[in-house]
């Protein structure tokens, strides 16, 4: 069983990694667009759009990965009553 504190400490590292991966995707898309159309303005828009799409995709993946863990961490603890059943 995984400790809740460890999961909470790993989450910022995953977010930072996803941010840098999304930035690299945006830069790559901007470089490809600038080399194709030879204009900086539209290439910056392509880079920004690619960054937003990549960040949203990575954010969704992180959310899906940690959704089940957060449900387990913040649920109420059931207390088993020691009373006899009727």
Domain residue ranges in the chain: 4-73
CB 55 within 8 A of CB 18: yes
b/e string for 44-76 if b means 16 or more Cβ within 10 A? eebbeebbeebbeebeeeeeeebeeeeeeeeee
pLDDT tens digits along 15-68: 889 999 999 999 999 999 999 999 999 999 999 999 999 999 999 998 888 777
Q: 77: buried, middle or exposed (CB in 10 Å: 19+, 13-18, 0-12)? A: exposed
Per the rule left: phi > 0, alpha: psi between -120 and 50, beta: everything else, 2 is beta
Entry pTM: 0.70
């Amino acid at each position: 069983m995984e400790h809740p504190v460890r999961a909470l400490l790993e989450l910022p590292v995953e977010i930072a990694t996803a941010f840098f991966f999304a930035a690299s995707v945006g830069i790559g898309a901007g470089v490809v667009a600038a080399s194709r159309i030879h204009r900086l303005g539209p290439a910056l828009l392509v880079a920004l759009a690619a960054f937003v799409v990549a960040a949203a995709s990575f954010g969704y993946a992180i959310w899906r990965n940690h959704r089940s863990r957060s449900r387990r961490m913040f649920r109420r603890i059931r207390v088993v009553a020691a009373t006899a059943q009727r």
